[in-house]
A and B are shown apart, each in its own frame.
Chain A
């Protein structure tokens, strides 16, 4: 498995675990029928947890393959990155537009924040999933 593919798996795990933590935290702070507003401490914990998982994961795979870790990405890896980022950006854009439309109907800033945040996380997860797909099936 290529180093960049292993890196993508690590990012998927980090994004999913930290995202799940964030969803659970917001659910616990919310009461029936009322969504809790986004609060900075939860976001800080979310960001730190995700960063720490990503760093530890990359250190682990780098220890086992130091040469690959230090190698420059080649033409195929660049193409895979660009193609995955293209679809990820599209999903993020669509998510933001729908979030803004939802705001025009609800005028609820909390929903706007969570919808855009969810779009960001989903687009990132999609980017790494697509990288793995392109690594395995080829990028056409």
Chain B
């Protein structure tokens, strides 16, 4: 199994709650590629602080509501 970052996220869930937003649409909104959004959701990449804030602002939630520490 591929190594995963210890930062979990609710990006996929938040996308679905916001009108089934696609990975491409989210990527375009925060300035990354669809593949990078997929990597974030699968915990293969931890976004920069700036991108993390962009995601949280886009979904109108706090940063901690999107990303959380999870070493399990």
Could you say which interface size class chain B belongs to?
Answer: 10 to 19
Smallest beta-carbon distance A76→chain B, Å = 4
Determine whether B8 belongs to the interface, using a CB cutoff of 8 Å to chain A: no
Chain A residues with CB under 8 A of B61:
none
Smallest beta-carbon distance B25→chain A, Å = 14
- Main SS class of interface, B: loop
Tell me whether A74 and B45 are in contact (CB under 8 A): no
Please give me the residue from chain B that is nearest to A135 by CB atom.
Answer: B35
Q: Which residue of B4, B35, B39 has the most chain A CB atoms within 10 A of its CB atom? A: B35
Smallest beta-carbon distance B13→chain A, Å = 21
Determine whether A2 belongs to the interface, using a CB cutoff of 8 Å to chain B: yes
Residue in contact with B33 in the complex, picked from A77, A137, A138, A140, CB distance below 8 Å = A77
Which residues B17-63 have CB closer than 8 A to chain A? 27, 31-33, 35-36, 39, 43-45, 47-48, 51
Could you say which interface size class chain A belongs to?
Answer: 10 to 19
Please give me the residue from chain B that is nearest to A75 by CB atom.
Answer: B48
Tell me whether B44 and A2 are in contact (CB under 8 A): no
Q: How far is the CA of A137 from the CA of B1 in the complex (A)?
A: 9
Residue in contact with A75 in the complex, picked from B35, B44, B47, CB distance below 8 Å = B47
Determine whether A139 belongs to the interface, using a CB cutoff of 8 Å to chain B: yes
Chain B residues with CB under 8 A of A74:
27, 31-33, 36
Tell me whether B36 and A138 are in contact (CB under 8 A): no
A-B contacts, 10 listed (Cβ < 8 Å) = A1-B35, A68-B33, A74-B31, A74-B32, A75-B36, A76-B35, A76-B39, A77-B36, A137-B44, A138-B45
- Enumerate chain B interface residues (CB-CB to A < 8 A): 2-5, 27, 31-33, 35-36, 39, 43-45, 47-48, 51
